Chain A
Amino acid sequence: MTELAKSARNRMQMFERLGSPFAALGSGALRGIADLVDIVMHPIQRRLGIQRMAYVFVLPNLLIFGIFILFPMLLNFYYALTGGTQLLPANRPFVGMANFEQLFSCGNFLDPNTCDEDLFWRAVWNTSGFVVLQVGFMILISLVTALALNRRIVLRGFFRSVFFYPVLLSPVVVALIWKWILQENGVLNALLVSLGGDRQPFLLSADWARFWVVVISIWAQMGFFTLILLAGLQAIPAELYEAASIDGANQWRSFRSITLPLLRPTMLVVVVLAVIRAVQVFDQVYAFTGGGPGTSTLYMVQYIFRRAFTDQTHLYGLAAAASVVLGGVLLVLTLIQLRTESTSSLS
């Protein structure tokens, strides 16, 4: 009998112990499934041997990975080397590196207006700015929050839940809630007017829109990073702080000389994870500003989506080339993360 069949039989026995009619039905069904699995697996195990059975069990997952991740990724590479507006690969002419040349054809990379594909470079610089601001402020705020939640404060459990709650919300829900608050006739402007102030173009001015995109992104994600930092803080032995206190160190000195150095590995993981997430930003901003006003909140993933689908030009090759570039950036960031994780686990 295979391991899977044994496991199913154990569950079946558990159902039998429960003794209800439903349990009896479940027991019968499970027994049937276990026997069916056994009929299929037994000859395979006999032929391959128990050691190789692991590959048999991994195979379904490998197939799913191959069909839904590996194959589309390879297809994307091929699309990046083709032109035209047709969707099916067979109908697309091979153009070599032309799409990459168009992306990187620039008089001055710092001035998108001098680039052939100005929207790509607007997206690159918008994304860079977003990553720096969002990651920087989010980690700072998450750290302060984690430090506060690590102390013995009243309602600590409640506050931990409150800060984590936005993480559970769908990005689109987050975007729509904030849009409702910030639009021209939204809640915040109504409040400002009722207090005698003027309406502010929260979503209609480039600077305001960029500001609020960073704010809601931090609001939505900081709970997750606070939780990781909190775990890092709780892993620091309390004895170190006690010893420092006996030696006369004040709170700032303890933070600087104990907390920060010992939190460094956790912090590195948090930074890399936050940067990867920030580079991939799309759904929340797409539902919140649509990339506007103008292109002030157009980020890389939306640029790719726009070029391929919503512009009606259907420049799939150009979009695929941009996604290869983005993939390269994410690959580098992921390698840094892997290196960081291995360093932190060693330390």
Chain B
Amino acid sequence: MMKKLNILLVVAFVLAAIGAGAVAAQDNVVELRLTWYDDGNEGAVMRELLDRFEAENPDIRVVMDTVAYTTILEQLPIQVEAGQAPDMARVTQYPMLAGNYLDLRPLLEDPDAFEAAFPEQVLGAMRTGDDDNGIYGFPDQFTVTGPYINRTLFEQAGVEVPSDTRDDVTWEEWTEVCAEVAEATGTDYAIAIDRTGHRFAGPAISMGATFFDDEGNLTIDSEGFRAMAELLNRWHTEGLTPAEVWLGAGGSYAAAADYFINGQLVCYMAGSWQIQRFTNDIGDAFDWEAIPNPSGPGGSTGVPGGAAIVAFANTQHPEAVARVMEYLTQEDVQREYAERTLFIPGDLRLSDLNYQTDSEAALAALNTFVAEVPKFHEDAYALQFHPQNTVIFNSIRDRLTQYMTGELTLDEAIQRIQEEADQAIAAAGE
């Protein structure tokens, strides 16, 4: 009798545990996972917007999994390939993940209006092969690469900011001027650029680099590419740039933003996504401003970019995902998101934005970056929307680092970048 009672006790316990799990899974709320990264305050703004959505749609809950940007670059693609993608994600390498997205067109109430709201190039970069009408996500931010300066340091050094009077200032001239200011003010570093091929590409094109031949094939070797690589090397050998950014980051992306925010850097090549952070973190510690991209034989160009919120095909809840996407792409939601994050919107319907900041520097920087858009070189677009852009940018970053540490000559570095890009393009075609 006792034996039976004991067995009953264990069986009852197991059944109770299973029952509790079943009840927890049965609350009729669809849970969607959104993998996210932050540059500034956009995560907080998005959470508030999603809270409002959830209040209006109690059957859907969106969980934001905020991760480091390197996780988006390095881990998310593996998750996607392994069939373990989240329902949605905020990504920057959307051409590379193409083929894994959920086509929202059949799920949207008005797909044509959705399509018309965003640049065709961005929507097209999410498609593969002959697909010319799939809708897989939307850009939540348009970015423009470009430099910032610490104007206070220029004033303290008594050095004129060259772009105040001329439009055709070259990278070489900026290097000299920034070095002069750093020396006069005792600032640690004169000039820096984020450790990424994406940031490197703009100055290289301005200095005459051509990344594509007449037949559209990727070609790394050009005078402009070499000139920029040699200039970057010079920044290191002369101690003009914080070596930890390019040489101390191993095989990862690294930004020099902290040096600029801390007043240790005179000139900093980054992009429009830093405006919110600079506004918050620099405050009135010093005067900072965005300046037009320097000029050269290739013109004055930055590189476009941005982030997009995409939906993945392996979601178990495509209808719910489409409802979230429709909500996030409403014009008023897009407007609020852009105005509060100080982002250049990817939404073509938006104009006359009332950015929510008292910072004149932020507003001026936004205007400067918006004025850069018409000046983009065609190679800048082609490179950014190339399906293998991440491989190309990573190879540029890593091989140029090897050049600067003396492991490779510039010829060898260029040859390796070309080989790796060709190999990736060929492998993707298999």
Question: Measuring CB to CB, which residues of chain A are less than 8 angstroms from any residue of chain B?
Answer: 28-29, 31-33, 35-36, 39, 83-88, 93, 113, 118, 122, 183-184, 201, 203-204, 206, 286, 289-296, 306, 309-315
Q: Which of B76-84, B151-159, B179-187 contacts A (4 or more CB under 8 A)?
A: B76-84
In the bound complex, CA of A85 to CA of B390 (Å): 14
- Given contact pairs A294-B402, A312-B390, A113 touches B408 in the complex (Cβ within 8 A): yes
Contact B250 A313 (CB under 8 A): no
Contact B401 A184 (CB under 8 A): no
Given A290-B249, A292-B248, list of 4 further CB < 8 A pairs?
A: A84-B430, A184-B242, A293-B247, A311-B391
Contact B247 A35 (CB under 8 A): no
Which of chain A's residues have a CB closer than 8 A to the CB of B74? 309-310, 312
A-B pairs with lowest CB-CB distance, top 5: A290-B250, A294-B405, A32-B6, A32-B10, A87-B81
**Which residues of B379-430 are within 8 A (CB) of A?**
390-391, 394-395, 401-402, 404-408, 412, 416, 420, 423-424, 427-428, 430
B176 CB-CB contact with A under 8 Å: no
**Cβ-neighbour of B10 out of A33, A84, A295 (below 8 A):** A33
In the bound complex, CA of A204 to CA of B247 (Å): 6
Which of chain B's residues have a CB closer than 8 A to the CB of A118? 416
Contact A312 B77 (CB under 8 A): yes
In the bound complex, CA of A181 to CA of B406 (Å): 26
**Which residues of B220-276 are within 8 A (CB) of A?**
242-244, 247-252
**Cβ-neighbour of A28 out of B6, B405, B420, B428 (below 8 A):** B6
In the bound complex, CA of A225 to CA of B324 (Å): 57
Contact B251 A306 (CB under 8 A): yes
**Cβ-neighbour of B401 out of A29, A183, A289, A293 (below 8 A):** A293
**CB-CB nearest in chain B for A27:** B6
In the bound complex, CA of A83 to CA of B427 (Å): 8
* Among B81, B250, B412: residue with most chain A CB under 10 A: B250
Contact A289 B405 (CB under 8 A): no
Over the window 7-28 of chain B, the binary record of Cβ atoms lying under 8 Å from chain A Cβ atoms (1 yes, 0 no) is: 1111001000000000000000
- Given contact pairs A85-B428, A292-B248, A31 touches B402 in the complex (Cβ within 8 A): no
Q: How far is the CB of B68 from chain A (nearest CB, A)?
A: 13
Which of chain A's residues have a CB closer than 8 A to the CB of B390? 312
- Given contact pairs A311-B391, A312-B77, A312-B96, A292 touches B9 in the complex (Cβ within 8 A): no
In the bound complex, CA of A28 to CA of B9 (Å): 8
* A–B pairs, 11, beta carbons within 8 Å: A32-B9, A35-B7, A85-B428, A87-B81, A289-B250, A292-B251, A294-B407, A296-B407, A312-B74, A312-B77, A314-B77
Contact B430 A29 (CB under 8 A): no
**Cβ-neighbour of B251 out of A87, A93, A206, A310 (below 8 A):** A310
In the bound complex, CA of A29 to CA of B9 (Å): 7
**CB-CB nearest in chain B for A293:** B247
B3 CB-CB contact with A under 8 Å: yes
How many pairs of A and B residues are in contact by the CB < 8 Å rule? 115
**CB-CB nearest in chain B for A30:** B6
In the bound complex, CA of A83 to CA of B429 (Å): 12
In the bound complex, CA of A212 to CA of B7 (Å): 60
Q: How far is the CB of B74 from chain A (nearest CB, A)?
A: 5
Question: Measuring CB to CB, which residues of chain B are less than 8 angstroms from any residue of chain A?
Answer: 2-3, 6-10, 13, 73-74, 77-78, 81-82, 93, 96, 242-244, 247-252, 390-391, 394-395, 401-402, 404-408, 412, 416, 420, 423-424, 427-428, 430
**CB-CB nearest in chain B for A92:** B430
Which of chain A's residues have a CB closer than 8 A to the CB of B2? 31
Which of chain A's residues have a CB closer than 8 A to the CB of B250? 286, 289-292
In the bound complex, CA of A296 to CA of B248 (Å): 11
Which of chain A's residues have a CB closer than 8 A to the CB of B405? 206, 292-294, 296
Which of chain A's residues have a CB closer than 8 A to the CB of B402? 294-295
Which of chain A's residues have a CB closer than 8 A to the CB of B412? 113
In the bound complex, CA of A84 to CA of B77 (Å): 15
**CB-CB nearest in chain A for B403:** A294
* Among B6, B13, B249, B427: residue with most chain A CB under 10 A: B6
In the bound complex, CA of A93 to CA of B427 (Å): 11
In the bound complex, CA of A184 to CA of B239 (Å): 13
**Cβ-neighbour of A204 out of B9, B244, B407 (below 8 A):** B244
In the bound complex, CA of A295 to CA of B430 (Å): 29
In the bound complex, CA of A292 to CA of B247 (Å): 7
Contact A313 B391 (CB under 8 A): yes
In the bound complex, CA of A320 to CA of B288 (Å): 49
**CB-CB nearest in chain B for A33:** B10
In the bound complex, CA of A203 to CA of B390 (Å): 26
In the bound complex, CA of A157 to CA of B10 (Å): 47
* Among B251, B401, B402: residue with most chain A CB under 10 A: B251
**Cβ-neighbour of A292 out of B3, B391, B395, B401 (below 8 A):** B401
In the bound complex, CA of A203 to CA of B248 (Å): 6
Contact A293 B248 (CB under 8 A): yes
**Cβ-neighbour of A290 out of B242, B251, B395, B404 (below 8 A):** B251
**CB-CB nearest in chain B for A285:** B250
In the bound complex, CA of A292 to CA of B246 (Å): 10
